[in-house]
Structure 1
């Protein structure tokens, strides 16, 4: 329960940290960044406390002093703490959710094929988004180039007509 409470506090602080990182107004950027950075050590200390509890629970499970079929939660890598990627340990409640089915954990949590499939689907979705942006950029580039081509042709025609006028004037 302590680990679950710590993880909830850590999750809340990390998400608010990420929110503040995303919406920093450039005019007050320095002050806001300083305020956000002052919170980093507290968040890291909370993560270290959580990791200590995870290691204690892992030891209890290893020594068979934990409840039957208990699963120790994974410690959070401190180097990746502020990345907040979709598949980070911070989002997984393995071993912390008392209401979960310990005997039959979900496939997205235990099956490597399902995990890699989810990551693959997310990657494909990002690729589809990028393809839509590139198509939009291609259309914009096509319109720009056609306008430039019209200007070049108009300049060539004007230069040709100007050349004819000078030939008539000199005769």
Structure 2
């Protein structure tokens, strides 16, 4: 199994886990008997799957270190980039810009010599985050204006 397949499998499992955790967190608001039963079953299912997800992440990290070693020893294709290992402590804290979502070094069809600026340039990354923040602020301002008009 190659590193890209490991990463895709890991992404799918983490996404599934996140949705199940969301279901648990929402069910705390509605503490009826059936909801509590579903909540405990979901919690048990999440806990059962956590060790498998962690093992998959460790296997992926081992492959990343092997690829890093091949690149360092110049046994990899020219201009090859080793993928970043996934920090196990932050494995379940899914964020938009986490390493888990970046396929640097895993995409065979990508342009290795000229990666996109949004992926490599920190100024562009912070600019994108700033634009997204401004857009959310504009949306909030429009919502507040509609709310003021409704009053």
Q: TM-score range by the shorter chain?
A: 0.7 to 0.9
Report the Cα distance in structure 1 between the residues aligned to 2:51 and 2:144, rounded to whole angstroms. 41
Instruction: Report the secondary structure of 1:25's partner residue.
Output: helix
Tell which structure's C-alpha radius of gyration is larger. 1
How many positions carry a matched residue from both structures?
A: 139
Q: 1:132 to 1:37 in 2, by over 3 A?
A: farther
CA distance change for structure 1 residues 111 and 32 in 2, over 3 Å: closer, same or farther? same
Asked whether the 8 Å contact 1:24–1:32 carries over to 2, the reply is: no
Decide which structure has greater helix share: 1
Superposition map of 1:64-79 within 5 A: 64-79=74-89
Aligned to 2:50: 40
Deviations 1:12-46 (A, max 9, x none): 11111112x99995552111111112111111111
Task: Give, in angstroms, the shift of residue 129 of structure 1.
Answer: 4.1
For the Cα contact (< 8 Å) 1:47–1:76, is it kept in 2? yes
TM-score normalized by the length of structure 1: 0.71
| Greater relative contact order, per chain length (Cα 8 Å cut-off, separation 6+) | 2
Specify whether residues 27 and 129 from structure 1 end up closer, same or farther in structure 2 by C-alpha distance, changes over 3 A only: farther
The aligned runs of 1:94-133 (5 Å cut-off) are 94-132=104-142
Deviates more, 1:93-102 or 1:115-124: 115-124
Q: Deviations over 1:91-120 (max 9, x none)?
A: 111000001111111111111111111121
RMSD: 3.4
In 2, the alpha carbon distance for the partners of 1:110 and 1:22 equals: 49
CA shift for structure 1 position 128: 3.4
Could you say if the C-alpha distance between residues 55 and 125 of structure 1 is closer, same or farther in structure 2, counting changes exceeding 3 Å? same
Alignment partners' CA distance in 2, 1:119 and 1:22:
40
C-alpha spacing 1:26/1:53, structure 2 compared with 1 (3 Å): same
Give the gaps of 5 or more residues in structure 2: 20-30
